Structure 1
Amino acid sequence: MNVSVGLIEGQSAVEVELTGTFTDSSGKPYTPGRYRFTSEVTLAPSDLASCAFALNDVTIGIGFHWERKERQVFRGAFRLMKRAAGLTLINVVPLEDYVTSVISSEMSASCPLELLKAHAVISRSWLWFPKANPARSGTAQRLNSHEILRWYGREAHPDFDVCADDHCQRYQGIAKAFSPAAAEATRATAGEFLRYKGTICDARFSKSCGGITERYATAWEDEDIPYLESIYDGPAQSCAYSPETWIRSSPPAYCNTDDSELLSRVLPGFDRETRDFYRWRVAYTPEELADLIGSRLGADLGPIRDLQALARGPSGRIYRLKITGERDHIVIGKELEIRRALSRTHLYSSAFVVDKESGRFLLRGAGWGHGVGLCQIGAAVMANEGKTYTEILQHYYRGTSVSV
């Protein structure tokens, strides 16, 4: 099976550097060198193992605080399609080569082997799930004058299977797969999927759950998915807690680690810049919040007077938040909409409590991402402690199994 991955969209021209010989659909050869394309073309490598193409200034982390440009190198064929917005560049690559790049891009190829195996299984499953469940693709929303309740589903890309950025799964080329362990993890799990009662799972994952994973319905549709329920991210059940107490403390959990050596091995370079992933803080003045709400939601509330959590998930992530200003109020959800509304990029998560200090709103938060499914940093710690990839997967996705 091949996977088509969207790398770039909306360009007037695309510059590509070829290594090895490629041929177009008419059989015309393109020898190693630099080429600038302004129209549709499809190029296939003469040899999949030795041929590659490189792109400069590929944007990664689009809309997030780590957004930047990179030079990336890819194997496989590439196709340029002309659309109203410009050229779309698509990489067509075998499934297992795609998985090898993803597990080395989402985390680092220097991760413990068992983590890479676990990620290979869930990345393969995440890709395959919507093919068997097309009705669950798309963006859903419900709006009225004082409430925005919006969540972001698995929108189908019309021209390719998946994009290469965080909207789908990170796919940043072959240079990321610098360790033999990445290829070994893919080979060792080739064709394996995460299954629940025989059906391939919607294997969601995030960077750090903050100590407790979140249930599916907090972030997406109001649906209970048995293997995407909330669990304590530790070897035994934690004691009873309230969400606010949990967020204000720093309880033990797999993802509560400051092991700099491990983090340097498991996180890509740009992710290592985010060191406060387990517990974090951000502060705003009432005017700064009003400006954010105005620019992100188009709502003129005036200087903000109060932020009130109306509904939280088990991890403490808010999925209905009331924002009250001097002129008006609005209720927003779900978790990603809250994260987008209260930041120029995204808050690390919607698991936060609010204090007012010196005329400012201080948000004290927990975790990085939606928190549903596998916690990548927690899984890295488990692998480092000697857990196998099936033990890791059964911890985060209760009641599942791994099989071809």
Structure 2
Amino acid sequence: MLRPVALVLLLLAPLGASAVETLRIAIEDTGSEVRVSGKGLASGPDSEDADFTPIASGQALIRRKGERLEVNGTLVEGDSVRFRAGVSNDSAAPGTEPLKAGAAQVRGDVVVRAHHRNSLQLINVIPLEDYLAAVLGSEMPVSFPAEALKAQAVAARTYALQKKLDAYSNDFHLGSSVLHQVYGGVNREDPRTRAAVDATRGQVLTYELAPIEAYFHASCGGRTESGFDALQRSLPYLRPVDCPCGKLPASRWTATLSDADIKAALRHPAQGLKVAARTRTNRVTRVTLGDGASMDGVELRRKLGYTRLKSLDFDLERTDRGYVFTGRGYGHGAGLCQWGAKALADKGREYREILSHYYPGAELQQLY
């Protein structure tokens, strides 16, 4: 049963009877100029209640001029300018038309601001539910069962709101890459992702009436990892749980690396590489290198490559010319396992049960 959310969460939303929860997403850093276009394009200052001036051509070329910006050859006040599509006398809902900014096509508004050195930064100011529809299409296969997509929608919404709280006064709340949540804009939306978002609208996971850090990953390999061991986040709702994904082919991988590959990546001799320590869920925390030096598992994975070493749950075998890594899972292993969510949904579990399994002790609440 959903409980009403704490007042502190309600303060996240902008004021106004028709206001919706929005996020500011850094989508791209460019050079000293960028093009923005859209049907019914207009520009204005970067504020929620700004007055927008239509741009007749529907296109804007923004150039950096020192610390200021120039739009279609005219200097504007301040170091940023906000663009919105769908602004016209016959438009009932300004901002609902997508617009193109640089290489991105997005809903909502786009802020172009002077960034470090002589560059520009693009920030997408977008309603949270529109953002989530694109995140789901970027983070989880749209062919997954509806209940798995709903679980992912709640996790992604919770993660985004928690990050917004952390970065509330910053120029943006999240990035658009794997460092936060992958966000691909309009092109990543799908009717199934939109349906999952709509079905869970406003629902978030909380612990002690605050949004949790709802981390997720592709596959845990059979058992999730604790928040501390995976992310140095000692959180009561991020603890190891058994997962059905361990039986799936998608959870198994191998990587063959030559001595030359390993030496180039680690800058240490490859011969003699050994696992020195593991967590309770079998993930590697430290390795010993050929020259006696040691390295922690996270650094090893970063240096060898995340797509090569898909997780830290691996065994190591020496060959004539290098090593074979035989692993389980893909990602850090904490929180929601996406392939595990699919397996549970295939067994008839609904999204509330899935979320309760991967975030034990967290509560599902209604924010709006």
Structure 2: distance between partners of 1:82 and 1:13? 10
Provide closer, same or farther for how the CA distance between residues 344 and 119 of structure 1 changes in structure 2, counting only shifts above 3 A: closer
**Equivalent position amino acid for 1:351 in 2:** D
CA deviation profile, 1:67-103 (whole Å, cap 9, x unmatched): xxxxx42111111111124110000011222222212
Amino-acid identity (%): 29
Equivalence for 1:288: 261
Contact 1:205 1:375 in 2 (8 A): yes
**Equivalent position amino acid for 2:42 in 1:** F
Structure 2: distance between partners of 1:188 and 1:29? 35
Contact 1:18 1:32 in 2 (8 A): no
Equivalence for 1:83: 115
Equivalence for 2:160: 127
Structure 2 spans left out of the alignment, 5+ residues: 1-20, 46-50, 70-80, 88-92
Matches within 5 A, 1:133-212: 134=166, 158-179=170-191, 181-212=192-223
Matches within 5 A, 1:43-58: 43-45=83-85, 46=87, 47-48=93-94, 50-55=96-101, 57=103
Structure 2: distance between partners of 1:189 and 1:98? 14
Q: CA deviation at 1:356?
A: 0.8
Aligned length: 319
Structure 1: distance between partners of 2:121 and 2:57? 22
> 1:225 and 2:235 equivalent?
yes
Equivalence for 2:356: 394
Q: CA deviation at 1:308?
A: 2.2
Structure 1: distance between partners of 2:296 and 2:39? 47
Provide closer, same or farther for how the CA distance between residues 278 and 304 of structure 1 changes in structure 2, counting only shifts above 3 A: same
Among 371, 379, 382, the residue aligned to 2:341 = 379
Q: CA deviation at 1:282?
A: 1.4
Q: CA deviation at 1:9?
A: 1.4
Provide closer, same or farther for how the CA distance between residues 35 and 384 of structure 1 changes in structure 2, counting only shifts above 3 A: farther
TM-score w.r.t. length of structure 2: 0.79
Structure 2: distance between partners of 1:31 and 1:331? 62
Structure 2: distance between partners of 1:396 and 1:374? 5
**Equivalent position amino acid for 1:285 in 2:** S
Q: CA deviation at 1:49?
A: 6.0
Q: CA deviation at 1:345?
A: 5.9
Instruction: Give the ranges of 4+ consecutive aligned residues of structure 1 lying more than 6 Å apart after TM superposition.
Output: none
Among 54, 62, 66, the residue aligned to 1:37 = 62
Structure 1: distance between partners of 2:108 and 2:56? 15
- SS of residue in 1 equivalent to 2:43: strand
Structure 2: distance between partners of 1:389 and 1:399? 15
**Equivalent position amino acid for 1:232 in 2:** D
- SS of residue in 1 equivalent to 2:247: coil
CA deviation profile, 1:352-379 (whole Å, cap 9, x unmatched): 1111122321111111100111111111
- SS of residue in 1 equivalent to 2:138: helix
Structure 2: distance between partners of 1:256 and 1:12? 50
Structure 1: distance between partners of 2:35 and 2:169? 23
- SS of residue in 1 equivalent to 2:272: strand
Based on CA coordinates, which of the two structures has the bigger radius of gyration? 2
Equivalence for 1:61: none
**Equivalent position amino acid for 1:225 in 2:** L
Equivalence for 1:115: 148
Q: CA deviation at 1:32?
A: 6.2
Q: CA deviation at 1:346?
A: 5.5
Contact 2:217 2:335 in 1 (8 A): yes
Q: CA deviation at 1:158?
A: 4.7
Equivalence for 1:215: 226
Structure 2: distance between partners of 1:208 and 1:393? 15
Q: CA deviation at 1:226?
A: 2.0
**Equivalent position amino acid for 1:280 in 2:** W
Q: CA deviation at 1:31?
A: 4.5
Structure 1 spans left out of the alignment, 5+ residues: 58-71, 138-155, 234-252, 259-276, 295-300
Provide closer, same or farther for how the CA distance between residues 290 and 320 of structure 1 changes in structure 2, counting only shifts above 3 A: same
Structure 1: distance between partners of 2:289 and 2:176? 34
Structure 2: distance between partners of 1:401 and 1:291? 47
Among 321, 332, 339, the residue aligned to 2:295 = 332
Q: CA deviation at 1:225?
A: 1.9
- SS of residue in 2 equivalent to 1:226: coil
Equivalence for 1:362: 324
Q: CA deviation at 1:195?
A: 2.0
Structure 1: distance between partners of 2:31 and 2:210? 39
**Equivalent position amino acid for 1:30 in 2:** I
**Equivalent position amino acid for 2:247 in 1:** N
Contact 1:115 1:380 in 2 (8 A): yes
Q: Which segment is superposed worse, 361-370 or 9-18?
A: 9-18
Equivalence for 1:297: none
Q: CA deviation at 1:318?
A: 1.1
**Equivalent position amino acid for 2:44 in 1:** D
